[in-house]
Structure 1
Amino acid sequence: MGKADFLSPKAISNRIKAKGLQKLRWYCQMCQKQCRDENGFKCHCMSESHQRQLLLASENPTKFMDYFSDEFKSDFVELLRRRFGTKRVHNNIVYNEYISNREHVHMNSTQWETLTDFTKWLGREGFCKVDETPKGWYIQYIDRDPETIRRQEEQARKKKQELDDEERSARMIEEQVRRGRDGKDTDEAPVYTELKRESEEEKVAFNLGACSSVAGPSKSRYRGFCVKYVIIYLNLSVSNWVLVSSLSSVLGASALKMEKKKQQQQQQSVRTDYWLQPNIIVKVITKRLGEKYHKKKAVIVEVREKYTAVVKIIDSGDKLKLDQNHLETVIPAPGKEVLILNGPYRDTEAVLEGIDEKNFSATLTLNSGPQKGKSVDVAYEDFSKLA
């Protein structure tokens, strides 16, 4: 017998059979047999093997339907999770990709008659978010993996911590500005007098006096902006004198703004996103190691690559390798020695004098460095107890 032509029905049928994807209505799930046409499916239904499978299924039809339904649901949801993730996608796109596998479980053997019924069921059971549009039903997988949830919580905690650091820095700057304004001497109200000259050739001179200094360690920076003496060799009217008398106060306000901006830039430049230091006491806050190590205090023995520390548990003596996100600083009792871990006084030993719970900070007295003996306010997370 000669070979069938390329476009003959026989050749087309052979290619379809080799591909393995025929019409789903001619597939028998119980026998797992794919028929090529309606006549073949009819002959299969009349066969002895198919009748035996029907008798076997008739004894417990719920068992077989539940099994096929569970297999169909598991494979469909797994494909949706692995292929599309948590993106919103049309349900028919997922179904077409699912049935492209010739070994898939057919829907006509499950408890769902249509794809719409199956989509609604996924929404009711909480596997996906479903919504109906003029273009059809859309589904979105809900990822409830514990590792994914933990990762999302970790990212949210880091973001909240960054926002807290920015707010704390802003409050610190505002407090410094307020202290500077409170300590500044109040300017006396200017007294305006009538301009008089004894002769036309005499020059008029105005002495505005020295600018009031700003309290605090930064007062020397303002001196460059102060105008001590302004002498005007012009024939001025009274209105011009009023403008000149306010020059000192304008320059003082401008200098205050520039100093505030400079302090903010300086604090941001000296801060880093890592704070681990050897020989300090920290607390383990991760729950991934179990309750045995959760909330336990440890001593940092070694710091690796700035963000990883080898710690020794104080109670048990066990050594662990942890990331800095799994640790937090320890605040000792007043009078104890601490180490400043971040900010302009980084790597400086100090003594804890008091705690300000309202502003989440503490007052420290520097115990080393060029500014030894100075009292500074440091946030909770920027210092820790020395071992």
Structure 2
Amino acid sequence: MGKSDFLSPKAISNRIKAKGLQKLRWYCQMCQKQCRDENGFKCHCMSESHQRQLLLASENPNRFLDYFSDEFKRDFLELLSRRFGTKRVHNNIVYNEYISHREHVHMNSTKWETLTEFTKWLGRQGLCKVDETPKGWYIEYIDRDPETIRRQDEQAKKKKQDLDDQERSAKFIRDQVRRGRDGKETEETPVYTELKRESEEEKVAFKLGASSAAGPSKPSSVLGATAVRASTSSSSSSSVKRKDMSSSSDSKMEKKKKKSALEEIIEMETRKQQQQQPVRTDHWLQPNIVVKVVTKRLGDKYHKKKAVVMEVRDKYEAVVKMIDSGDKLKLDQTHVETVVPTPGKRVLILNGPHRETEALLEGINEKSFNATLTLESGQQKGKSVDVAYEDFSKLA
């Protein structure tokens, strides 16, 4: 068995010695060769292959320096992103894990002399967030992968949508509570007052019945007679009360029946007017009106763009068609606002006593935030009214 055989003691000893990391000063980056001692490194520097590599590097030294620098930066950032992600970590921890690989690019072959200089360069280039502490420099990788950015945007949109849904449900609950309070009649609660004596000299007197006022010395016959009289008096008083109630109810019925024809006509007219004048509602969407999209959830493509309401669903949702692109969207009432056209255009009143009435815009009052409209339909056709901006919108 020769000395250079694979299973020879010499070959096994050389492999054991070459295993793991060696000293950096005995490593040649140009030839990518690691020497075990000073003598081996000296012999390598005198070899013909090393001299040939030095001649090639002397022709264009910047090319080799940039190549090794790019390799070091790429491998370092790849390890940082894969091993630590976007966590804040000490730069020396990342470097020690990087150089544990035997075939790594050494820093003495790059354009950075120290790890601190390389860390500062990463911060200036915007590749990492760096900060200096008493314990050293800390770095945090900035993930600029398009897939990661898209995923973060989707998570932000979903979070915002959840918040909008919660706000919408909370508003719906508040509206329901407000409607319940408006429709409920206020009940008069009894007021309890404390029994107080106005003056110290005043005496508190209690009136008792005749039976209790009589002493225990009265005979039983007298007590029985008084009880009979009390029962008869109570029955007579109850009958009198019933008669009074029946007579009062009869008098009320007679009063109701004795209403004149003029009063009945007035009551009928007031009822008609109350039916004709609807109260303000919290929903104002109507078909065939022009609205403006104010929500930013849909992006800049639809923000501040005008659309036509095609259909109204559940009073608070509408299917709109964008005027510019023709896209159809389903939006909530809070995501759009009314459109005030120029004077001379036809509008539709959306809320108030003239709800669902078409009108002509005569003028705009910027100080009072309302407009003067001339009604074109209904019983009050031709009448001029002042309506707030949010209570009317342009007709499509």
Q: TM-score, with normalisation over the residues of structure 2?
A: 0.48
TM-score by length of 1: 0.49
User: Which structure: larger Rg?
Assistant: 2
